[in-house]
């Protein structure tokens, strides 16, 4: 059965205290919160709808720039979560498949979890399925109230719950799977008779029960996955939770993380076996790192980096949007950006690729072919190519292409003034 996704991303996110950035575009290790949610569903849904509102233009631009299969739908004014979903009704008027509803501020939900959730919905023959989880302290969450047969009776929001309902520890995780053909009519019949005066998405449960539909709840075992981002504190907490999960995965797959407490690696990075990541290394964005590499300590990979096998990236090295081929070494205190390094290249300490022209705002590429050697404290001013086997002397400022097996030197002749120190001291 076909599946489409609706992602709620219209909220203002007042507690983020952000003037310029909408909540769902805040980042964890170089990737937006909304980006995580979109990526977690894009491989098994046919179409994604992002409901936008606050800072709609910025969110819409992000979606259009990065996701071909996603559309944005404006919610204005924002009258609640039920109202938000109703915004897609015109686009899905003749649709009769499944609709998966998620929140744009829950980046920790895994693709595997969402697939299991949809499979549960199908196996139960359910028309409406809500994802739930258990919290020892459920304050702030809508409570899951079940029937005697364990099916879902209703969801009661914190502000509307009585003392008995507030004692329930099973809570609404905010993710829904709907048989759209049967449930779409609910969004024209929701009411605002609640403490917030809004159209609650949760009210589709009582609507479904009244229509004699099959309504169920799927319990998510790991409640970390539905951790929502409502503040900068939440953002920092979610970042730590995600990083811990990522590092555990890499170590399980044969990667040595010398100090997990000081190492940060994005989930969109792949790392080969027997690679060692040294302390205080930060790897963000999407990257590929091969086998038997040594990265760090204190290295920073900023995304778009492809590192092949047996590469060494030393301490205090920054790499961005670059390919580094096998058996190449990048010495400490270097910057490699918008570059392509061949095999068996050696980059001396303190070398930088000057890739940005501040006048034209254009970034250009540096290409170093196989067996190139770059002396310490060199500057490679892009666009520039150093051909196979060429050497650049220490302190070189390279503004022109260097041919194969040549030596490029730009330093001034050394002057030695004998006894100068003793004379100056008199």
Residues 6+ apart with CB under 8 A from 229: 16, 23, 26, 33, 105, 106, 107, 235, 238
Assess whether the previous peptide bond of 65 is cis (omega < 30° from 0): no
Q: What are phi and psi of 170, to 5 degrees?
A: -85, 125
Q: Which of 26, 54, 55, 332 is catalytic?
A: 332
CB 250 within 8 A of CB 263: no
Q: What is the DSSP letter of 414?
A: P
If we measure between CA atoms, which residue out of 380, 412, 413, 374 comes closest to residue 394? 374
Structure tokens, 170:
């099973």
Q: How far is CA 158 from the centre of its chain?
A: 30
State the angle between helix axes of 33-41 and 111-123 in degrees (0 to 180), rounded to the nearest 10: 50
If we measure between CA atoms, which residue out of 117, 176, 168 comes closest to residue 145? 168
> Rounded distance, CA 267 to CA 30, Å?
10
Whether 332 is catalytic is: yes
Q: What is the DSSP letter of 98?
A: E
Dihedral sign for Cα atoms in the order 177, 179, 181, 182: negative
Residues 6+ apart with CB under 8 A from 396: 374, 375, 378, 379, 408, 409, 410, 411
> Rounded distance, CA 8 to CA 347, Å?
47
Q: What is the DSSP letter of 402?
A: B
The total number of residues written for the chain in this structure: 426
If we measure between CA atoms, which residue out of 336, 384, 420, 418 comes closest to residue 410? 384
Q: What is the DSSP letter of 215?
A: E
Q: What is the set of active-site residues?
A: 332
């Amino acid at each position: 059965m076909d599946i489409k996704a609706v992602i709620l991303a219209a909220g203002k996110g007042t507690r983020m205290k952000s003037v310029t950035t909408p909540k769902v575009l805040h980042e964890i290790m170089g990737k937006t919160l909304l980006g995580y949610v979109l990526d977690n569903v894009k491989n098994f849904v046919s179409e994604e709808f992002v409901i936008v509102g606050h800072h709609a233009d910025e969110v819409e631009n992000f979606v259009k720039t990065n996701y071909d299969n996603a559309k944005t739908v404006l919610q204005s004014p924002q009258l609640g979560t039920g109202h938000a979903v109703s915004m897609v009704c015109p686009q899905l008027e003749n649709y009769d498949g499944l609709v998966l509803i998620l929140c744009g501020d829950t980046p920790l939900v895994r693709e595997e979890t969402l697939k299991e959730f949809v499979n549960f919905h199908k196996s139960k023959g359910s028309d409406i399925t809500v994802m739930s989880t258990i919290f020892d302290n459920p304050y702030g969450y809508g409570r899951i109230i079940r029937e005697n047969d364990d099916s879902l009776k209703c969801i009661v929001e914190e502000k509307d719950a009585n003392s008995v309902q507030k004692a329930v520890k099973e809570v609404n995780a905010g993710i829904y799977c709907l048989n759209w053909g049967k449930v779409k009519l609910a969004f024209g019949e929701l009411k605002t008779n609640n403490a917030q005066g809004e159209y609650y998405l949760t009210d589709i449960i009582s609507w479904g029960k009244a229509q004699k539909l099959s309504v169920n709840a799927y319990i998510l075992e790991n409640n970390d996955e539905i951790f929502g981002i409502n503040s900068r504190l939440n953002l920092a907490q979610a970042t730590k939770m995600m990083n811990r999960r990522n590092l555990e995965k890499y170590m399980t797959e044969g990667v040595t993380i010398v100090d997990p407490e000081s190492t940060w690696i994005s989930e969109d990075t792949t790392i080969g076996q027997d690679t060692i990541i040294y302390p205080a290394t930060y790897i963000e964005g999407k990257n590929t790192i091969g086998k038997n590499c040594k990265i760090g300590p204190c290295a920073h990979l900023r995304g778009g980096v492809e590192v092949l096998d047996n590469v060494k990236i030393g301490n205090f090295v920054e790499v961005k949007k670059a390919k580094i081929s096998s058996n190449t070494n990048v010495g400490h205190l270097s910057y490699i950006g918008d570059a392509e390094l061949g095999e068996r290249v050696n980059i001396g300490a303190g070398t930088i690729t000057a890739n940005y022209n501040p006048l034209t705002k254009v970034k250009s590429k540096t290409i170093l072919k196989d067996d190139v050697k770059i002396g310490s404290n060199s500057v490679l001013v892009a666009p520039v190519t150093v051909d196979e086997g060429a050497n650049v002397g220490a302190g070189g400022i390279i503004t022109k292409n260097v041919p194969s097996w040549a030596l490029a030197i730009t330093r001034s002749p050394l002057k030695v003034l004998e006894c100068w120190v003793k004379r100056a001291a008199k």
